[in-house]
Structure 1
Amino acid sequence: MRKKALIITYYWPPAGGPGVQRWLKFVKYLPDFNIDPIVYIPSNPSYPLVDDTLLDDVPEHVTIIKQAINEPYKFASLLSKKRSKTVSKGIISEEKKQSLIERLLLFVRGNFFIPDARVGWVKPSVQYLQTYISDYNIETVITTGPPHSLHLIGLHLQKQLHVNWIADFRDPWTTIGYHKQLKLTKKASLKHKTLEKQVLQAANQIIVTSDVTKQEFQLITDKPISVITNGYDVNHVQSPDLDSKFTMAHIGSLLSKRNPEVLWQVLKELITEHSDFATDFELHFVGAVSENVLKSIYNLGLSDYVNEHGYVSHNEAVVFQKKSQLLILIEIDSDETRCIIPGKLFEYMVSERPILALGPKASDVEQIIKETNTGRYFYYNDHESLKSTILEYYNQYKTGVLKSHAIGLQKYSRKSLTKKLSELI
């Protein structure tokens, strides 16, 4: 017997970036497991990134329902269009470099819109969906955040209709890295924690993307928590020729605090000490890069080796992943980021290019890279081993044998992950 599942999400094509991919792929494969997804999205969203090519991935026969949303970013742009757009992307300047307008935007965002700037969508969504759920006999409602205000929609619907509610956390709530930068008052901080606890204790089932987040949430709730990571899907992008240069590419945003100066210093030393490396090396940034990162690179004299491509479509990003000699993955060096598993990791893993990752100790990313044999993971104080590994990869490039040799990737395929989700529904 087929079931229906109502999926409440903010990010949906033509939204770009990693947040849209998770549920786009779940929706693609759920019908294979006798579940018909119905997707509820805003009719007039304010997406910081747009990728029209993702519209081609929306299943032809999926039911999509929409409701208007009022968002403060449109009004904030009257103060500063540039700063409101970067804040909505999550690009936050170092505190000592923040302008008065950026400080004001962050304070208002953190204290007047709790849990986030989409909280105004909660009430009209609950009113609309109550009738829809009853009319179409929907038993399961799934909310996915961030934005975590969408979980409040699930909370109200469960109370009123007693539906089976699954809360999917793509990122943590109160412990996510940027939370401390929102200039929260004690009252606002307490409200965030109270709402988080209410959601975690009320949902019938909780889904997280990492083991670290599961451990964190288990301290707050005794509700069942399942780990379903992000994953990779079959793509139809023709494999390009490998770059002739020794290219290292980072795909995705490089925020202010995601700035591994140890890596830039190592690259500077290799360029200085090895003339052939200096001739062959290129560094590619595909996505938004903070001024802080670019300044660090400039100060070390590496700017001539950098190629900035800005935000590109998902298909173009896949091309960069497949043609680059080495793929860079960087996370902030903090205990709070141990649970963050960038969606691009899984596409990196099937690109057959080695991954060079830097991040905190005991992270989920470190474990996944080790178990799949897809690259090397370093801490921010691993200067010498990082340097020797890049030189080792460079020598493999020179002899034409640089390639990753992955194992056990199948469990991270989107279809395998959707099967796990279907069992929860």
Structure 2
Amino acid sequence: MDKKKVLIITYYWPPAGGPGVQRWLKFVKYLPEFDVHPVVYIPENPNYPVIDESLKEEVTDAATIIKHPIKEPYRWASMFSKKSVKTISKGIISDYKKQNIVEKLMLFIRGNFFIPDARVGWVKPSAAFLQDYIQKEQIEVIITTGPPHSVHLIGLNLKEKLGVKWLADFRDPWTTIGYHKQLKLTKASKKKHKTLEKAVLNKADQLIVTSFTTKKEFEQITKQPIDVITNGYDNEKHTSFEMDSKFTMSHIGSLLSKRNPEVLWSVLKDLVAQNSDFSNDFQLNFIGSVSDEVLQSIKNNSLSNYINNVGYVKHNEAVKYQKKSQILLLIEIDSEETKCIIPGKLFEYMISNRPIIALGPKESDVEKIITETNTGKYFYYDDYESLKKAILEHYKGYKTNSLKTQPIGLQKYHRKALTESLSKLL
């Protein structure tokens, strides 16, 4: 029996690094096992903020990859300020008071001249190219995944012209994502975002979201079917490592300006001052981009000497850091908008057998998953005493070599199980 051809339209694909790549890289890996032949459409000349060449090895030979050129505004913007472009394209936006005139101008242009995002110039040429390809290859189903949400406009265009079945996958929400407030959108720009969002949510045949909160949000805008398929974990290649000799607390991924838990730094400052053994054993690992504001907060709490600021590493290296760390930190911005954010790294954290300490808003989807799976402890930004107590308990476990987790029900988050759920929607 011939496998069903499904066209997947995505901006992020190896050698792009970061969490946005993993979701569809893994779906594409497992889809052939469910009688689906994935055809992946990507930009020919993208401007990825983070590169991880090792991810190329994970692209399955069973997929067909097609490419088309893209005009990247971030390239010409780099002529004015390479640093600002790099941080903005990674999602790191510094506090408004600390932005220079170039950064303020670039954010205004990004927010109001490129709607929904800086890749909007790829929409028309892609739709024209894919219209011919879909008819020639007799493709019946297309999938778009965002961000960038301009990718969904390609799906909208193809739906209107060809009537092809269309699934729109949202790895993040659209108009309620936290950084929208920092883009200095005019009233007209906000309205345009809302109009485009509503069009996509109502014209797509099926919506897929990564969180339960986003599903509830979208249900207020559309009556189209919405399924939650979270991110997940995959079987990683076995790598040899030794557990850290220090009492390491490691954060993997970006620490944005507002992802800055002062309560945690305050607790650690006091533990270091009050307990000489803790002070000798403690180390704070940052694996990924860290904003200047976060580093300044840590300096203000006299913790700079305890930092091991590694920076971005390849995915397989990040996995090794996860497995050998004593504690894994998961930090989210304390706001209503971030309750729906479930970072992809959470699922890798959960199978690393290391306790998770998570901080974020009350009643978040992350809190629900961590509690259900018994993989760590979740704290709010005002939980000084309980956070301090938990870190001390973990420190005692470290000293007695008994620090580990007892997870429950992780199998449903395996990438293959999640792909099976996706295949049923196709």
Give TM class, smaller chain.
over 0.9
**Is it true that 1:411 corresponds to 2:412 in the alignment?**
yes
**Over residues 86-117 of structure 1, what are the superposed CA-to-partner deviations in whole Å (9 max), with x where a residue is unaligned?**
11111101011011000000000000000000
Contact 1:237–1:315 (CA under 8 A) maintained in structure 2: no
**Over residues 360-407 of structure 1, what are the superposed CA-to-partner deviations in whole Å (9 max), with x where a residue is unaligned?**
000000000000000000000000000000000000111110001111
Contact 1:126–1:153 (CA under 8 A) maintained in structure 2: yes
Structure 1 residue aligned with 2:108: 107
Please state how far the C-alpha of 1:241 moved relative to its aligned partner. 1.5
Please state how far the C-alpha of 1:85 moved relative to its aligned partner. 1.1
Contact 1:144–1:151 (CA under 8 A) maintained in structure 2: yes
Structure 2 residue aligned with 1:255: 256
Please state how far the C-alpha of 1:240 moved relative to its aligned partner. 1.4
Structure 1 residue aligned with 2:232: 231
Structure 2 residue aligned with 1:299: 300
- In the alignment, structure 2 segments of 5+ residues that lack a partner are none
Structure 1 residue aligned with 2:335: 334
Please state how far the C-alpha of 1:238 moved relative to its aligned partner. 1.5
The 5 A counterparts of 1:314-353 are 314-353=315-354
Which amino acid counterpart does residue 73 of structure 2 have in structure 1?
P
Query: Secondary structure at the residue paired with 1:78?
Result: coil
**Over residues 254-279 of structure 1, what are the superposed CA-to-partner deviations in whole Å (9 max), with x where a residue is unaligned?**
00000001000000111111111001
What TM-score comes out, normalization by structure 2 length?
0.99
Please state how far the C-alpha of 1:61 moved relative to its aligned partner. 3.0
Contact 2:178–2:337 (CA under 8 A) maintained in structure 1: yes
CA distance in 2 between counterparts of 1:27 and 1:344 reads 19
Contact 2:32–2:62 (CA under 8 A) maintained in structure 1: no
**Is it true that 1:155 corresponds to 2:152 in the alignment?**
no
CA distance in 2 between counterparts of 1:378 and 1:82 reads 34
Which amino acid counterpart does residue 25 of structure 1 have in structure 2?
K
Please state how far the C-alpha of 1:300 moved relative to its aligned partner. 1.1
Structure 2 residue aligned with 1:84: 85
**Higher alpha-carbon deviation: 274-283 or 230-239:** 230-239
Please state how far the C-alpha of 1:71 moved relative to its aligned partner. 1.1
Which amino acid counterpart does residue 292 of structure 2 have in structure 1?
E
CA distance in 1 between counterparts of 2:253 and 2:200 reads 30
Contact 1:232–1:412 (CA under 8 A) maintained in structure 2: yes
**Is it true that 1:121 corresponds to 2:92 in the alignment?**
no
What TM-score comes out, normalization by structure 1 length?
0.99
% same residue: 68
Please state how far the C-alpha of 1:239 moved relative to its aligned partner. 4.3
Contact 1:326–1:356 (CA under 8 A) maintained in structure 2: yes
Structure 2 residue aligned with 1:269: 270
CA distance in 2 between counterparts of 1:257 and 1:300 reads 17
CA distance in 2 between counterparts of 1:212 and 1:312 reads 31
- In the alignment, structure 1 segments of 5+ residues that lack a partner are none
Structure 2 residue aligned with 1:400: 401
CA distance in 1 between counterparts of 2:155 and 2:324 reads 42
The 5 A counterparts of 1:18-417 are 18-417=19-418
CA distance in 2 between counterparts of 1:123 and 1:306 reads 47
CA distance in 2 between counterparts of 1:82 and 1:418 reads 38
Contact 2:31–2:37 (CA under 8 A) maintained in structure 1: yes
Contact 1:237–1:319 (CA under 8 A) maintained in structure 2: no
CA distance in 1 between counterparts of 2:364 and 2:68 reads 38
Please state how far the C-alpha of 1:57 moved relative to its aligned partner. 0.2
Which amino acid counterpart does residue 42 of structure 1 have in structure 2?
P
Aligned residues: 425
